[in-house]
Amino acid sequence: MGLSCGLVGLPSCGKTTIYNAITAAGASGYGTEMNQAIVNMPDRRVSKLVEIYHPRKTVLATLEVVDIPGLQSSPQSTGRGSKLLGHIKDVEALLHVVRCFEDGSIPFAYETIDPLRDVETVDLELMAADSITLQNKLTRLEKKVKANDKDAIRENTHCEKIYVAIQQGVPARKQNLTPQEIASVYECNLVSLKPVLYIANVKSMADADNRYVKALKQIADAENAEMLIVCGKDEADISQLAPEEQQEFLKDLGLMESSMERLMHAAYRILGLISFFTVGEDEVRAWTCKKGDKAPIAAGKIHKDMEKGFIRLEVIRYDDLIALGDEASVAKAGKKRMEGREYEVQDGDIVTVLFNK
SS3 (DSSP) at 124: helix
Rg (CA), the chain: 23
Selected from 4, 16, 20, 23, the binder of Mg ion by CB under 5 A is 16
SS3 (DSSP) at 279: coil
- Residues of span 151-210 touching ligand GDP by CB under 6 A: 201-203
CA 26 to each of CA 191, 204, 278, 305: distance values in angstroms, whole numbers, following the listed order: 28, 21, 32, 39
Burial label for 259, CB within 10 Å (0-12, 13-18, 19+), is buried
Size of the site for Mg ion (CB under 5 A): 3
When asked if residue 16 is in the footprint of ligand GDP (CB under 6 A), the reply is yes
Query: Shortest gap between Cβ of 108 and Mg ion (angstroms)?
Result: 13
Q: Looking at 223-338, list the stretches that DSSP marks H as alpha helix, in order from N- to C-terminal side.
A: 232-238, 243-252, 259-270, 295-302, 304-308, 318-324, 327-332
Interface region with Mg ion, contact rule CB under 5 A, candidates 7-15, 244-252, 254-262, 296-304: 7-15
- Residues of span 252-271 touching ligand GDP by CB under 6 A: none
- Residues of span 56-75 touching Mg ion by CB under 5 A: 69
Query: Shortest gap between Cβ of 264 and ligand GDP (angstroms)?
Result: 18
Size of the site for ligand GDP (CB under 6 A): 18
B/e letters for 285-312, b = 16+ CB within 10 Å, e = fewer, are bbbbbeeebbbbbbbbbbeeebbeebeb
- Residues of span 100-119 touching ligand GDP by CB under 6 A: 101, 103, 106
Distance separating alpha carbons of residues 56 and 281, to the nearest angstrom: 6
Nearer to Mg ion by Cβ, of 28 and 135: the residue is: 28
Selected from 12, 157, 189, 352, the binder of ligand GDP by CB under 6 A is 12
* Amino acid (one-letter) located at 305: D
CA 153 to each of CA 22, 50, 145, 191, 206: distance values in angstroms, whole numbers, following the listed order: 45, 56, 5, 23, 55
Interface region with ligand GDP, contact rule CB under 6 A, candidates 6-14, 144-152, 187-195, 239-247: 6-14
Query: Shortest gap between Cβ of 234 and ligand GDP (angstroms)?
Result: 7
Selected from 96, 233, 301, 336, the binder of ligand GDP by CB under 6 A is 233
Residues found near ligand GDP in the complex (CB under 6 A): 9, 11-17, 29, 101, 103, 106, 201-203, 231-233
Residues found near Mg ion in the complex (CB under 5 A): 15-16, 69
